[in-house]
Amino acid sequence: MKHEAAVSSAKEIADRVLAPAARENDKEGRFSSEAIKALGPAGLFGIMLPADVGGSALGPRTFAAIVSALAEADASVAMVYLMHVCATATIAAARNGAAVATTLQEIAAGRHLSTLAFSEAGSRSHFWAPVSRARRNAAGVHISAKKSFVTSAGQADSYVVSALSPQSTGPTDSTLYLIARGTRGLSIAGAWDGLGLRANASAPMTLEDCEVSPESQLTDDGAGFQAMLQVVLPLFNLGSAAVALGICRAAVAGTATHLKSARFEHLGQSLGESLPTLRAQIATMQIDTDGLAARIDDLIDHLERPRDTTVLRVLESKAAAGDVAIAVTSAAMRACGGAAFAKHMAIERLFRDAHAGAVMAPTGDVLREFIGKAVLGMPLF
């Protein structure tokens, strides 16, 4: 599949499957299995996988365009997809000897959804420092862990899980493992009832003495941290920025529709015709949204042609995108007034969904801490 076909397929699914169900799924906190059933068979699960396992070998440009198209219709589904692509990239980058070929083929065939289970109750948003530790015996390792938020919890076919290595000496000496759905000891540890992204099943999960074979160990002992930074972080930050962009585009479109259709009958004008202040607000929203799109294009260029400034761009993009999404959706709430507040339109869902980006790790605050250190030439960890 080529870039254009992948993006137009994502848009078609967003219009046909995601948009009509987004409001109800948000209200009920319901995971969209329909979205997964549409995205997988359309060939979108393996877009970045190599052709030899059935993937489309496409790059970050296609990934970002798909994510923003999905987020425009339903940010919860976009986040599920983003986590799946990050997990898939980690599985594809597995060390020699890991038995992942079948999983990758299943992903490319659209039959396998994966996700990341990094954050732990003990180390909270510091996902790079798991407090759980794997214990090794002759059969492999055993892991007990309290994972605090796992997108697609209970819905995914596999989980990319972090834990400290059996012989770890420092807080970042982690290892990544692939744990299949149904593994003994793996369970959902609570409900997901978030403020936003309510339809993405980000529940806590418990691992109780889960046995993992050596073939399901994705990285060498202690190499999990490098995989998190080199494989996951660039894609996750790009994808998070793309989710924010989709949310912003939907907020601009929803606000424009409202300002054109809602009327002051006593004045014989629409809101937009009547009030310059509303026109100024939607103009600022448009400027910020297009600015975010340009920032994402710049990040993609840096990922396609890595250079000295790439790490900084990776860090900046998610921090900036979180702020822009909150600002644009806040402006939309204000411009659409009581109609938005009374939930007559999708704006309030976008406003709630927009707030997830800034608190998902690496959080906007943590990114600022890293960026500040990088600018001052200090080590990040």
Ligand X SMILES: Cc1cc2nc3c(=O)[nH]c(=O)nc-3n(C[C@H](O)[C@H](O)[C@H](O)COP(=O)(O)OP(=O)(O)OC[C@H]3O[C@@H](n4cnc5c(N)ncnc54)[C@H](O)[C@@H]3O)c2cc1C
Using CB under 6 A as the criterion, which residues of the chain lie in contact with ligand X when the complex forms?
83, 115-119, 124-125, 127, 149-151, 194, 197, 202, 356, 359-361, 363, 365-366, 369
> Least distance (Å) from ligand X to the CB of residue 337?
28
Nearer to ligand X, 126 or 302 (CB): 126
Containing 339, the helix (H) or strand (E) segment is: helix 337-341
Q: Which amino acid is at 365?
A: D
Nearer to ligand X, 282 or 319 (CB): 319
Structure tokens at 277: 């202040």
Burial of 226 (0-12, 13-18, 19+ CB in 10 A): middle
211 vs 65: CA distance, rounded Å: 38
> Least distance (Å) from ligand X to the CB of residue 195?
8
Nearer to ligand X, 133 or 258 (CB): 133
> Least distance (Å) from ligand X to the CB of residue 361?
3
Nearer to ligand X, 193 or 265 (CB): 193
Q: Which amino acid is at 315?
A: L
Nearer to ligand X, 194 or 224 (CB): 194
> Least distance (Å) from ligand X to the CB of residue 84?
10
> Least distance (Å) from ligand X to the CB of residue 81?
12
Q: What is the CA radius of gyration of the chain?
A: 21
> Least distance (Å) from ligand X to the CB of residue 224?
13
Nearer to ligand X, 60 or 322 (CB): 322
CB 232 within 8 A of CB 86: yes
Per the DSSP assignment, residues forming a β-bridge with 270 are 263
161 vs 81: CA distance, rounded Å: 17
Nearer to ligand X, 350 or 360 (CB): 360
Q: What is the DSSP string of 134-192?
A: -EEETTEEEEEEEEEEETTTTT-SEEEEEEE-TT--STT-EEEEEEETT-TTEEE-S--
184-to-13, 91, 149, 202 alpha-carbon distances in Å: 35, 21, 20, 20
DSSP-assigned letter for residue 94: P
228 vs 233: CA distance, rounded Å: 6
> Least distance (Å) from ligand X to the CB of residue 242?
16
